[in-house]
Amino acid sequence: MASSCDEAILTLKRLPSDKEDLGDDIAAEKIVKLTAELDGEDDEDQKKACDPVVERIKDGKHPDCYKQLAKEQHPKFLVFACSDSRVSPSFILNFKPGEAFMTRNIANMVPAFNQLRYSGVGAVIEYAVDHLEVENILVIGHSRCGGIKALMSLDETSAHGTTSNDFIDDWVKIGLPAKAKVESQWPDATFEEKCILCEKESVNSSLVNLLTYPYVRAAVANGALKLMGGYYDFVNGNFKLWKADFEVKPAIII
C-alpha cells in the first residue's frame, strides 16, 4: 500500500495534465520542483536555488567561538522574551553565543511555581539558577504584543472558565493580576492604551512570580541574583530597563 506521502506526490504530478488551468509552464515548473523536493532529490540546481535564509544559517556557525563553548557554558543572563518574530532578544541586546540562556513564549510570561503545570518553564529556571548560576534574570516585554492583546480581550466568562482557544487563553491568564491592576488604575484609558500599560505591568507580574521559585528567592536573598524588567518599543526604536527591588532576606535556619 502506498504511503500518504507517495499518494500526495502522485496527485501533484497529475495536476498539470488533469487541470487545464494549471497546465501553463509556470504552474508546471512549480509543481515539478515541489514533487522533486518531496521525492528527496538533491541535484546541483536545487542546491543553487536553496533558500537564502537556509544559506545564512549554514554560513553563520562561528566556528572559533564554539570551540570554547563546546567545552562548557557560563551565561550571565536568563532571558524571558516573547515568541513574537519581531523581537528577538539576541538582536535587541546583541547577545553573542554563550552569553544568555533564553526561553521564549507567548507574551514573555513567567508563571508562579507549580510542579503540576508549566514544568517546562520551571525546568528552565531551575537549570539556569541552580546549575548554570546565572547572575541576572531579565524579562522583556514589547510593543504591539498579541498575547497581551489576547489577555486584555478576555471577558469575565473566558477569564474564569470558557475559552475559545485550546491553549492561548489559558496561558495568558497568567497575566490576569497585571490586567486587573491596569483596569483598576486606568479605567478610562482606551483599549490600546490599556494594552500598552499591560505590556509593562505583565513584566512586573512575572518578576513577582519568579520569587515563588525557591532557588530564585534564595539566590536573590543572598545577593547572587538580580531580577530586571525590560520593555522594547520596536515601533519607536527604544528600550527601557528597570531593576526589581525586592526586599528579600535570607531564610533563617532555626
Q: For residues 49 and 47, give the distance between their C-alpha atoms in angstroms, rounded to a whole number.
A: 5
Catalytic residue among 21, 62, 84, 130: 84
What ranges in 40-106 are assigned the alpha helix state H?
Answer: 44-48, 52-59, 63-69, 89-93
Task: Clarify whether 142 is annotated catalytic.
Answer: yes
Task: Clarify whether 144 is annotated catalytic.
Answer: no
Q: DSSP 3-state assignment of 143?
A: coil
Task: Clarify whether 82 is annotated catalytic.
Answer: yes
Catalytic residue among 25, 56, 142, 166: 142
Query: What are φ and ψ of residue 57, in 5° steps?
Result: -65, -40
Q: For residues 235 and 238, give the distance between their C-alpha atoms in angstroms, rounded to a whole number.
A: 8
Task: Clarify whether 64 is annotated catalytic.
Answer: no
Amino acid identity of residue 211, one-letter, is L
Q: For residues 100 and 134, give the distance between their C-alpha atoms in angstroms, rounded to a whole number.
A: 9
List strands edge to edge, sheet with 238-243: 100-105, 77-82, 136-142, 226-233, 238-243
Q: For residues 195 and 144, give the distance between their C-alpha atoms in angstroms, rounded to a whole number.
A: 8
Task: Clarify whether 5 is annotated catalytic.
Answer: no
Radius of gyration of the chain from Cα atoms? 24
Residue among 101, 40, 92, 100 at smallest CA distance from 238 = 92
**Do residues 168 and 83 touch, judged by C-beta distance below 8 A?**
no
Catalytic residue among 86, 104, 130, 233: 86
**Do residues 186 and 197 touch, judged by C-beta distance below 8 A?**
yes
Q: Which three cell numbers mark 218? A: 534564595
Catalytic residue among 21, 74, 117, 145: 145
Catalytic residue among 64, 74, 82, 217: 82
Residue among 175, 194, 174, 192 at smallest CA distance from 184 = 194
Active-site annotation, residues: 82, 84, 86, 142, 145
